Amino acid sequence: MSLPKTARINEVGPRDGLQNEKQMIPASAKIELIEALTAAGLKSIEYTSFVSPKWVPQMADAEEVAAGIQRQPGVNYQALVLNQRGLERALAAGVNSVGLVVAASETLNKKNMNAGVQEALDNYRPMLAQCHAAGVIVSGYVSTVCGCPYEGVVPAEKVLAVTKSFLAMGADDIVLADTIGSGHPRQVRELCEMTLELVPAERLGVHFHDTRGMALANSLAALEAGISRFDGSIGGLGGCPFAPGAQGNGATEDLVFMLEEMGVATGIDITALIECARLAERLVGRPLPGHIKGVKKLFPSALVLGNN
């Protein structure tokens, strides 16, 4: 099996992870988490979203968080935006990367953005041009790529159609997002292989939720297909306000540990990352589902095999 030698991890816990929390997390705590993640070696962090506080109250402090983080050279600070107003706020706050999301499912797209798939893409076209004029990187997120809570299984043709539209508009990267965590490894691998016929591997990423405990297995399937960019959420934080039943993303620390054990370098300090997961638990006031943070001592597989 030929695997990528390195992997890029985009941490989405501070945004996708925290947005579903009922208890309001203060901006100072979010900033503490973001800076701990940066210190652990993460080079890409989705730190907030510039969306309506009416619909996502947890992200009402986007400007405060953006102003409070100590930006480090070489770190990609990404924010989610859904409309022109959100983009204006993000640019004013100094983002260097944005995520634009369109569901491959018509129903979820209308519930999430109050627009159909094509209307959402048309709305993004001038926004994407504005981002490029400002030197801002754009990741086109295609959500519900494996399934929709309202429509069921989403045909691959719909996923590829949204991908082609994002590419035609000039998106820098494409991310396939299993928003409700309904995908399985064979489905993921086949979808990745089809998408790789349109998008170079270095420009394609994946984003998995762990609703059915498949996030790591699906990450492995994507890795075997040649993908080397992965979203993860510290501790397994997450959910989606507009996707009933969706659970947290795959835990970043579990993903990094698996990749490193397989010889795929991430550049991230796993010990420091585990401490970030424990910090996230303290911030939300409950245990989180990530596995590695509960291990008292990590035994690299090479060491264990060497002792047998």
- Rounded Cα gap, residues 5 and 228, in angstroms: 9
Kindly report the backbone phi and psi dihedral angles of residue 142, in degrees, each rounded to the nearest multiple of 5, phi listed first: -100, 110
Grouping H, G, I as helix, E, B as strand and the rest as coil, residue 258 is helix
Report, as residue numbers or ranges, the catalytic residues: 240
CA dihedral for 263, 200, 46, 92, sign (positive or negative): positive
Tokens 């984003």 correspond to 207
On the CB side of 76, how many CA atoms lie within 13 Å of its CA? 18
Residues ≥6 apart with Cβ < 8 Å to 88 = none
Tokens 């999301």 correspond to 101
Kindly report the backbone phi and psi dihedral angles of residue 112, in degrees, each rounded to the nearest multiple of 5, phi listed first: -80, -35
